[in-house]
């Protein structure tokens, strides 16, 4: 018999590519404006900003090719194709030089965003939580172990909607590299095994509507294909 007064929530997890094993997810961190062309398209100067972070709850994960219900409370759901790092260990004040030792694997992700709520939050100086951390906002594909594929520092990242190219870039274009991101984030929180880091999106973000099919691919990390379905709430 458990002492819990209600059933504890299930552990969020991702499949491991080429295996029946699962990667358990603890927290989901995201980096803002980490590609210069995307920072510019959002009206910011890419040269001056240190990295900044927001997060999503672990149970916002949409795993692999599962359908994504169009979220409530928005008329501007936007896609952001991103490289996701999955940590196998963590720590505080991690040195960038050894930071990749913390990375267990990599995946393809979509940092779904209620852009209208984000725009209002920016204007009013409010938190981004409801713009970024809503149910179903963290699409993520299978985790490819670094032990098998290494630590990718370059590679094509692209996103198509209904077969039309919307985003195309290279992960080598990140303003802050993954080791720099881990070092900066670990000065703010203690990172731990199971943490995911969404590393930012290249330019070309845009709106989605129910019925759209979103395909995201990163060289060496396969492809995630999501169908946007009608609102569930």
Query: Does residue 55 belong to the site contacting Mn ion (CB under 5 A)?
Result: no
CB of 113 to Mn ion, least distance (A): 7
CB of 223 to Mn ion, least distance (A): 19
CB of 43 to Mn ion, least distance (A): 15
Q: Which of residues 73-112 bind Mn ion (CB under 5 A)?
A: 80, 111
Stretch that binds Mn ion, among 4-12, 13-21, 122-130, 201-209 (CB under 5 A): 201-209
CA distance 90 to 56: 18
- Contact of 102 with 91, CB cutoff 8 Å: yes
CB of 20 to Mn ion, least distance (A): 30
Cβ-count burial of 164 within 10 angstroms (0-12 exposed, 13-18 middle, 19+ buried)?
exposed
- List beta partners, residue 61: 138
Cα–Cα distance list, 21 to 15, 17, 24, 124, 218 (Å): 6, 8, 10, 44, 22
Q: Which is nearer to Mn ion, 101 or 180 (CB)?
A: 180
CA distance 144 to 150: 9
Q: Which is nearer to Mn ion, 53 or 89 (CB)?
A: 53
Query: Does residue 118 belong to the site contacting Mn ion (CB under 5 A)?
Result: no
Query: Does residue 201 belong to the site contacting Mn ion (CB under 5 A)?
Result: yes
Q: Which is nearer to Mn ion, 111 or 215 (CB)?
A: 111
- Contact of 156 with 222, CB cutoff 8 Å: no
Q: Which is nearer to Mn ion, 145 or 199 (CB)?
A: 199
Binding site for Mn ion (CB under 5 A): 80, 111, 201
């Amino acid at each position: 018999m458990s002492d819990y007064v209600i059933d504890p929530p299930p552990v969020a997890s991702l499949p491991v590519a080429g295996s029946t094993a699962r990667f358990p997810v603890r927290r989901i961190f995201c980096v803002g404006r980490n590609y210069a062309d995307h920072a510019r398209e959002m009206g910011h100067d890419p040269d001056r900003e240190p990295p900044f972070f927001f997060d999503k709850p672990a149970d916002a994960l949409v795993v692999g090719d599962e359908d994504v219900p169009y979220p409530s409370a928005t008329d501007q759901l936007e896609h952001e194709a991103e490289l996701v790092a999955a940590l196998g260990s963590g720590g505080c004040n991690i040195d960038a030089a050894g930071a990749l030792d913390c990375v267990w694997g990599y995946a393809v992700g979509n940092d779904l965003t209620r852009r209208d709520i984000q725009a209002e939050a920016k204007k009013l100086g409010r938190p981004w939580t409801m713009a970024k951390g809503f149910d179903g906002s963290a699409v993520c594909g299978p985790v490819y172990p670094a032990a098998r594929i290494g630590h990718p520092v370059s590679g094509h990242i692209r996103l198509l909607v209904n077969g039309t190219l919307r985003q195309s870039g290279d992960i080598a274009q990140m303003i802050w590299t993954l080791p720099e991101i881990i070092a900066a984030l670990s000065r703010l929180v203690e990172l731990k095994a199971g943490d995911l880091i969404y590393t930012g999106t290249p330019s070309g973000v845009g709106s989605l509507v129910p019925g759209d099919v979103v395909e995201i691919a990163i060289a060496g990390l396969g492809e995630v294909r999501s169908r946007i379905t009608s609102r569930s709430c």
